[in-house]
Structure 1
Amino acid sequence: MSLRLPPRADVRLLATAVALPTDLAPVGQRGRVMDEAAVLAHIGHVGVPGAEAANATEPQSPLDAEVTTRQWVQDADAIDLAVEAGRRALARAGLQVNQLSAVLCASSTPVSISAAMAPRVVARLQGEAADASIFLPCAHDVRGGGVGALQAWITAQGLIAQGAGPVLVVAAETPSKFLQPGDVGTALRYGDGAGAVILGPAAGTDLASRPGASFLGGLAGQRPLAGRPTTIPGPLPPQGGPQAYRFQKPDREHLADLGRLWAQAPRALGEAFPAARADTRYVLPYGVSHRQMATAVEALGATQAECFHELARLGCVGAASPLVALHGLLASGRPDPGCVVCLVSAAGNGVWAGFFWALDEWACGQALVSG
């Protein structure tokens, strides 16, 4: 049985934010914009055309990359990106970190094996203002692969339903630090970055009395996939050489099965909430290729919906993809109040999640003001 989440109007979107490697202080010194030539030079394939390079390391598949540029960190990591995204989200919401009830961090590329990212993000956000109080936000990580950000969002809603105040959800990825030497296809496809949202209770706002506002329903589940996935396969404690702790390339069997999951999960979501599907204007997916995203939109069955993504400009930023797309959509000024969006992800471990959300006037207006 999958997890079915009914519509609820007791939660509000307070802020969105994105942080990229070139945003990290000193600005422009801890990240780099990587075009195809820079990527190929970095991994030792100078002069190999992009299409040929992508096919040199893995088979043609629904995951073929269509990325113009991406950003990679330099002397930085996923925590640095998470802190910057969190700082920006807090500024847009007009909040201090000690006004949050919880901070949830999602990442497939964590900084260390056992130490959680979220408490360190809280400590960095609190900074010099930290005191001896034990009442800083509850902080924990969500390890759901590419679905981690949506799992964290769903968890945040549950906390708010139990009486929590604002919750910061941040997803940060640095796949550039885990590339296999010579794996051109993966290098061309992925970028580093972080996305964040702050959710809060709707009590005290007009949302509380508006049925159907904000969360319009969602599903989450899992279907084990066949074949060899895109993952870091090395066991813990570490054994063997460093290559076991870098991304492995997926095989054809896995890519085909993952493609089927991308056709199944959005369809199930749309069939579970047909009214929200009918109203959906934008689909914001985990994005790794145009073909994969088109499959998701078609399977959802929202005939009038448009796919919004940042794949060409930023590459696949893993779990952060839907949050980055949401921020980009709001910053574009395209959605009007009441616009319904669908966030959906499916990962190589077979985990999937998706939900519908109605944007309110505050979210649309705040995004335009903040940029």
Structure 2
Amino acid sequence: MTSDARNPRARILGTGRSLPLAASASEAQVGAPPADGAADASEERRRAAPGETTSDLAVRAAKIALDAAGVGPRDLEMIILATSSGDAPMPATAVYVQQKLGAELIPSFDLSASLTGFLYGLSVANQFVTAGTMKHILVIGADLLSWRLDPRDRASAQLFGDGAGAVVVGPAADDGRGILSVGLRADGKKADVLQVPGGGSAEPLTPERIADRRHYLRVKQPELRQAAEELLGANALSAVAAAGLAPADVDWVIPHHADPHIAALLAERLGCPYERVLGAVDRAGAAGASAGSVAIALDEALRDGRILPGNHVLLCALGGGLTWGSAVIRV
């Protein structure tokens, strides 16, 4: 959290988002269509076009955020990319973003915290700017999870899509606007709730493991939902208190996914109208973009005028790890 929530020293200077070029999911990606021929939510998800990479999505979102902040790539002092689906196992995808943007020889690295990754990255940037070490840091949440989805697992296809959201973090003005608090948590005992088990040092890929589909995303959906129900609300309340606010002071809530049930629970815990809890992405075409979801929704709501200058916005997410977290900003 910040050292003085009432006098923030870092703020979000600009936001941006990018969706894949492809219009919708293909049958090859999400399995055969339902028997009645009706399209389900998964088939409305935007999926990456052939040859489109995570760094491509990240760069498009970054350029929009930089333009909104009024800074150029060479003004950046650090790039943080939150992703669980980089261009390659090595090097970090952030260096490809640096290269494509034409940024200076600045530190650029990936951060892996699943759907919570953007908030983890926002916290890191906040610390550097608050300390006075750096002035302009690019934080991106980007995932291209469609290629990690098992074509046989239609339930997961309904949860995850592709997309990127970006923000530029810089010094706050003396007007009370900025990053008021960030609270992060993790519970490694629940690591198997949301994971890709194969492909790392614990399970190097072999023909047998590929045949067993160990390289695909695996989700224990009841456990994931239970964790979100139990943890998100309490963490959100802690972040609001750390910001020196009461729940009634929060104007908008942006969770990691457009789930009406989770939105209703958050509204109940915070005592706010349900309409003030935005789906992490209101448009079905970009829902479930993992690390990109919260940043995408923030950019969308700022640009369409729902979130206004001076509003208090609560961002919250829960994902693999398990990781979860919340941040309160005054825009």
Aligned to 2:141: 171
1:69 counterpart = 2:69: no
Partner-residue secondary structure (3-state), 1:71: coil
Provide Cα deviations, 1:309-354, integer angstroms capped at 9, x if missing partner: 3243412111111111110111111233211111111123222111
1:105 counterpart = 2:81: yes
Aligned to 2:131: 162
1:265 is displaced (CA, Å) by 2.2
Supply the distance in 2 between the matched residues of 1:229 and 1:82 (Cα, whole angstroms): 27
Contact 1:175–1:192 (CA<8 Å) still a contact in 2? yes
Aligned match for 1:268, one of 235, 238, 249: 238
Mean Cα deviation higher: 103-112 or 305-314: 305-314
1:108 is displaced (CA, Å) by 1.4
Aligned to 1:233: 197
Aligned match for 2:107, one of 138, 141, 154: 138
Change (3 A) 1:253 1:191: closer
Provide Cα deviations, 1:22-80, integer angstroms capped at 9, x if missing partner: 2xxxxxxxxx222xxx54464432333599x98xxxxxxxxxxx667221002211111
Aligned to 1:322: 294
- Equivalent residues, number: 320
What root-mean-square deviation, in Å, do the aligned CA atoms of Structure 1 and Structure 2 show?
A: 2.7
Contact 2:29–2:146 (CA<8 Å) still a contact in 1? no
Aligned to 1:362: none
Change (3 A) 1:195 1:227: closer
Supply the distance in 2 between the matched residues of 1:255 and 1:336 (Cα, whole angstroms): 31
Structure 1 unaligned residues grouped into runs of 5+: 23-31, 55-65, 360-371
Amino acid at match of 2:205: Q
Aligned to 2:330: 358
Structure 2 unaligned residues grouped into runs of 5+: none
Amino acid at match of 2:142: A
1:191 counterpart = 2:161: yes
Mean Cα deviation higher: 258-267 or 174-183: 258-267
Change (3 A) 1:227 1:304: closer
Identity in percent:
26
Contact 2:236–2:314 (CA<8 Å) still a contact in 1? no
Supply the distance in 1 between the matched residues of 2:311 and 2:152 (Cα, whole angstroms): 44
Contact 2:2–2:127 (CA<8 Å) still a contact in 1? no
Amino acid at match of 2:48: V
Amino acid at match of 1:69: E
Change (3 A) 1:357 1:148: same
**TM norm structure 1:** 0.78
1:109 is displaced (CA, Å) by 1.2
Supply the distance in 2 between the matched residues of 1:275 and 1:257 (Cα, whole angstroms): 25
Aligned to 1:60: none
**TM norm structure 2:** 0.87
Aligned to 1:119: 95
Contact 2:29–2:151 (CA<8 Å) still a contact in 1? no
Supply the distance in 2 between the matched residues of 1:112 and 1:106 (Cα, whole angstroms): 14
Larger radius of gyration: 1
Amino acid at match of 1:33: A
Amino acid at match of 1:97: P
Aligned to 2:152: 182
Mean Cα deviation higher: 181-190 or 256-265: 256-265
Mean Cα deviation higher: 142-151 or 311-320: 311-320
1:12 is displaced (CA, Å) by 2.7
Q: Aligned ranges for residues 141-152 of structure 1 at < 5 Å?
A: 141-152=110-121
Amino acid at match of 1:92: A
